[in-house]
Amino acid sequence: MGNKINIWYFSSFVISIIVAVPIITVFSSFFETTGGYVTVLKNTFLLDYIYNSLILLTGVLTLTFIIGVGCAYLVSFYKFPGVNFFKWALILSFAVPAYIYAYSLTAFFENYGTAFSILKNLLGEGNYNAHIPKFDGMLGAIISISFSLFGYIYVLTRASFHYQSQNLIELGKNLGFSKQKSFFKIILPSARPAIVAGLSLVAMETLSDFGSVSFFGVSTLTTGIYNAWISFDDLTLANRLSSYLLIFILGLFVIENLSRKKAQYHTSSKGGFKSKSVVHLYNYKSILAFLFCTLVFFLSFLFPVFQMLYWTIIFPKHFLDLNLIELFSNTMLLVFLSCCLLILLAFISNYGNRVSKSKFLEALNTFSISGYAIPGIILAVAFITFISWLDLNMINYLGTETIKPIFIGSIFGLILVYFIRFYSLANNGIKSGYLKINYSIDESAYLLGYSKLKTFKNIHVPYLKNSVLLIGILLTIEIIKELPITLIMRPFNFETFATKAYIYASQDLLEAAAAPSLLLILIASCFILITSRYILKD
């Protein structure tokens, strides 16, 4: 039995090390020399990269906070027409990647775009371009990313609001608080952990965004990393810029934790939990709540869908030119292989931690899953850096053939980077399920003569099947939308819906990007609707 424990321990250890490799590679760049571009960068664009990243982050966090918390508050505390529809419809924004929203925004408001066509058909000929607002540059990037990501804050904050006790609200009334004061002094502070968790996810996704900022021509640290590697062939500098970005993200977490000090957010069990009562809205208040949620739903989901659908209908040639079977097959192949690998290894890692009860292994696993905070483009660059280093040393010291073609520009390498990128999602999902399984169940199985493998296969896997289904769907949504990793690591001439849309858009063929963008949104929406029964289950 001791050997079997060692096998599980070793397996979990190896998995954690593999996931941690990019993080170690990124920070190792401090000990390496860079090319001459680093001097040019310091004297020219570096401050612009940092300034633009901060402006982008501030704008997105502000807008997503207002939209996400506002919608969550309305659907959680009030009853108005359509509230049950909005509870699940608002999470459909997850189906629209920021780069596709950027295409839609530009297509609608550009000169002689969709807005111009609508005005021309309604009012006749006229110089409408002078009066149509232009959403490009930094403003366009903030709007595109915000409407794509506010769902993180909406889902987490709504879950927190749902479990808030009526006792807290009644306390505010007894203290003479108005509804507005109760919201800012009681309801909002008690939901702070959920809001901060949502804002943290938004911050990581914003700083890692590549598709929309490159489309709008906004120079951020992420585009700087890409340019350092692609334009100047300086992997070391790309990793060093990545380390700055990682330190910045980790710094945000530290500041937030310090700001909380010893504050507690759990509800005291004294007096028991009392479900909150929902307030029915009438007259103009009901109309305003309905209009706010309708506006958010339209702007975040219907607007990009209608824009992509409009262009697909107007320019059917681009749709007919698509090899739909190949694009769908490629996308689903990556989804299937990645999900199988992620879920299997997350199972093995968590079970290894469970049976070994090693503090070191638990700490290593915690460190490795912080890789989710690493932007996809950084992971791809770090992975290529590590493989290049390993390849060089194997050739020099072992005299082997090059291994680069196995890992770089291959489906195998692409799936490995997906594994590192999304391991945190799979691992945490399985771990949360394992926390519900009492250790006494394992001990009972051992007393009945079950081996650890048999316990894992016959007890744990069936028990966690619902968690596995949910994790698989969430992973599918993320992989379908993933752009930078797929763009960098894919084999030559291997296209998915995401890469096809980006390539067309980068060539300024937005009407051609409409069809693959629309199909990507529809496929992701189907999986999100399935997931919503778990996320929004009351």
Query: What pLDDT does residue 257 have?
Result: 60
Residue 5 in 3-state DSSP? helix
How much of the chain is helix, strand and coil, in % rounded to 5? 80, 0, 20
pLDDT band at 24 (very low <50, low <70, confident <90, very high): confident
What is the Cα–Cα distance from 387 to 229, expressed in whole angstroms? 15
Residue 166's pLDDT is 58
pLDDT at 273 over 90: no
Residue 403 three-state SS: coil
The pLDDT score that the predictor gives to residue 274 is 52
- Least confident interval from 105-119, 191-205, 289-303, 321-335: 191-205
Tallying the residues shown for the chain, one arrives at 538
pLDDT at residue 266 is higher than 60: no
Cα angle, residue 100 at apex, residues 99 and 104 outer, rounded to 5°: 120
Across 434-462, average pLDDT: 79
Q: Are 34 and 240 in contact (CB under 8 A)?
A: yes
Q: For position 208, what pLDDT does the model report?
A: 79
More confident residue, 182 or 24: 24
Short-list 199, 196, 190, CA closest to 160: 190
pLDDT in tens, 391-411: 998 888 888 888 888 999 899
CATH of domain 45-221+275-313: 1.10.3720.10
Q: Assess contact for 254 and 242: CB atoms under 8 A.
A: no
Q: What is the pLDDT of residue 261?
A: 55
Q: Does pLDDT of 3 surpass 50?
A: no
Predicted TM-score (pTM) of the model is: 0.80
Angstrom distance (rounded) from CA 111 to CA 130: 9
Instruction: Say whether pLDDT at 36 is over 50.
Output: yes
Q: Give the lowest-confidence range in 53-57, 422-426, 491-495.
A: 422-426
Q: What is the pLDDT of residue 465?
A: 77
Which segments of 217-323 does DSSP mark as H helices, in order? Answer: 221-230, 235-260, 283-297, 303-314, 316-321
| Model confidence pLDDT, tens digit, residues 177-204 | 666 777 767 777 777 777 887 888 788 7
Tokens encoding 479:
């992989």
pLDDT at position 332 is 93
Query: What 3-state DSSP class applies to 450?
Result: coil
The predicted model gives 15-32 an average pLDDT of 79
* Dist CA 182 CA 184 (whole Å): 6
Domain 315-537 = CATH 1.10.640.10? no
- The ranges assigned to domains in the chain are 45-221+275-313, 315-537
Over residues 317-332, mean pLDDT: 90
Region 149-153: mean pLDDT is 89
Note whether 45-221+275-313 and 315-537 share their fold: yes
Out of 144-148, 246-250, 263-267, 384-388, which region has the weakest mean confidence (pLDDT)? 263-267
**In the predicted model, what is the mean pLDDT of the chain?**
82
The CA distance from 473 to 477, in Å, is 6
Q: What is the predicted pLDDT for the residue at 466?
A: 72
Candidates 352, 373, 372; CA nearest to 431 is 352
Return the pLDDT at 250: 67
Taking CA atoms, 470 is separated from 9, 162, 349, 435, in Å, by 27, 21, 19, 16
Kindly compute the dihedral angle of the four CA atoms of residues 453, 368, 259, 166, in this order, to the nearest 10 degrees: -30
The yes-or-no verdict on residue 150 having pLDDT over 60 is yes
Of the candidates 210, 202, 201, which has an alpha carbon nearest to the alpha carbon of residue 238?
Answer: 210
Cβ 323 vs Cβ 518: under 8 Å: no
Count of C-beta atoms within a 10 Å radius of residue 357 = 11
Is 70 exceeded by the pLDDT of residue 388? yes
For 157-176, what is each residue's pLDDT tens digit? 887 777 665 556 666 666 66
Per-residue confidence at 112, pLDDT binned at 50, 70, 90? Answer: confident
Tens of pLDDT, residues 341-379: 999 998 888 888 887 777 888 777 777 776 666 678 778
The encoded tokens of residue 57 equal 């982050």
15 within 8 A of 231, measured Cβ to Cβ: no
